[in-house]
Amino acid sequence: MYTASMYHAMGIDPDFYPAVFAMARSSGWTAHVLEEKFPRRPVKAVLYRPVCTYVGELDRRYIPIGKRR
| Residue 2: predicted pLDDT | 81
Q: Of 26, 20, 22, which Cα lies nearest the Cα of 7?
A: 20
pLDDT at position 69: 86
Rounded to whole angstroms, the Cα distance separating 69 from 62 reads: 13
pLDDT of residue 49: 65
- Tens-place pLDDT, residues 5-54: 999 999 999 999 999 989 888 988 888 888 777 777 666 666 666 677 88
Q: What is the pLDDT of residue 51?
A: 72
Biggest distance spanned by C-alpha atoms of the chain: 53
The full set of domain ranges for the chain reads 3-67
Q: What is the spatial distance between Cα 10 and Cα 62, in angstroms, rounded to a whole number?
A: 40
